[in-house]
């Protein structure tokens, strides 16, 4: 049963945030509304450093006094138009407190830097973090909303470049279909606490800048998913992007990918951002942390069994597939 906190926040957002965002026709107005995480109070046991990775401005988030064995690359949401590593500290601080060394890049945003700028920046950062198969075995990637779609686009670029793939992915309400073809765009238009379909379409157009919305690097739902790492997907039952998640998992499983999904009732899109208030946010992040640690342990065990010179996990990383672009 959903918590009273989930009911309260979903109701409040539907009554206040959603109508204001629907009327935000200018990108600056949307950015102000989506900056809700910018004032997140960083826990005392977490340290944040600002160090660029491959010339991309980035935040490094770690628990004080810890020496985590695994690195997590977190790609923030915001429709490719808004938000930053700072706004998404509810995610990165949680992961830092639960055993990860977190890298959160401030990739370039549209409309100033349209598609594929964000994907290019994500690839530059990833290539720096995963120079060897050994580094990739202790690297995982997480992303929420547009960041979830970006994580999947990144995996395609990594595969095409012949780089080693990470141990696993954690995707929170990923935006995988910029063409907005899912039934949930219509079915959940009134129930969704944050978005209206027209707003999603405006955001997609601002990012694409004339590019094909079915391009697999923009809409990973239409990509060749063969050989991608194990993935965990969490989404809200009532959000307009629900089918972006469910159809992704269906296609991933059909391609032979280990893909798990859980749909959460009542909660709003990206509810993990409210993890200090909504217990479902903490539960989602706890499950994701466990999933990622388990997959890292599995990849590390395989390395010890097969020897230090064995191939990286996910053979497709060594034999790039055509993306369909």
Residues with active-site annotation: 145, 239, 269
Mark out the alpha helices in 58-113 (DSSP H runs): 89-97
What is the gyration radius of the CA atoms in the chain, in angstroms?
18
Integer Cα distance of 117 and 185 in angstroms: 26
Give the list of residues 6+ apart from residue 320 with CB closer than 8 angstroms, or none: 159, 160, 161, 162
Mark out the alpha helices in the chain (DSSP H runs): 4-15, 17-22, 27-33, 89-97, 117-129, 133-137, 146-161, 184-187, 197-208, 242-254, 279-306
Integer Cα distance of 4 and 267 in angstroms: 10
């Amino acid at each position: 049963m959903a918590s009273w906190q989930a009911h309260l926040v979903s109701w409040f957002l539907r009554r206040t945030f959603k109508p204001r965002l629907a009327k935000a026709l200018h990108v600056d107005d949307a950015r102000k509304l989506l900056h809700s995480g910018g004032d997140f109070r960083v826990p005392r046991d977490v340290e944040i450093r600002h160090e660029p990775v491959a010339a991309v401005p980035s935040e490094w988030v770690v628990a004080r006094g810890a020496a985590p064995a695994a690195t997590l690359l977190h790609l923030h949401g915001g429709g490719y138009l808004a938000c930053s590593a700072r706004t998404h500290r509810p995610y990165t601080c949680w992961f830092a407190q639960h055993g990860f060394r977190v890298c959160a890049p401030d990739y370039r945003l549209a409309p100033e830097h349209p598609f594929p700028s964000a994907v290019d920046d994500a690839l530059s950062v990833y290539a720096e973090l995963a120079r060897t198969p050994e580094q990739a075995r202790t690297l995982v990637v997480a992303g929420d909303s547009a960041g979830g779609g970006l994580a999947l686009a990144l995996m395609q670029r990594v595969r095409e470049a012949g780089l080693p793939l990470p141990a696993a992915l954690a995707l929170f309400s990923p935006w995988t279909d910029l063409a907005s073809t899912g039934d949930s765009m219509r079915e959940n238009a009134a129930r969704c606490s944050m978005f209206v379909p027209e707003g999603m379409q405006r955001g997609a157009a601002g990012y694409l800048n004339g590019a094909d919305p079915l391009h697999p690097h923009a809409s990973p739902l239409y990509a060749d998913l063969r050989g991608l790492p194990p993935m965990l997907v969490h989404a809200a039952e009532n959000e307009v992007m629900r089918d972006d998640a469910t159809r992704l998992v269906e296609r991933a499983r059909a391609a032979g990918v280990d893909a798990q999904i859980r749909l959460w009732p009542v909660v709003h899109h990206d509810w993990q951002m409210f993890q200090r208030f909504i217990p479902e946010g903490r539960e989602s992040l706890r499950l994701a942390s466990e999933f990622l640690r388990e997959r890292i342990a599995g990849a590390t065990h395989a390395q010890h069994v097969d020897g230090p010179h064995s191939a990286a996990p996910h053979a497709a990383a060594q034999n790039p597939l055509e993306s369909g672009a």
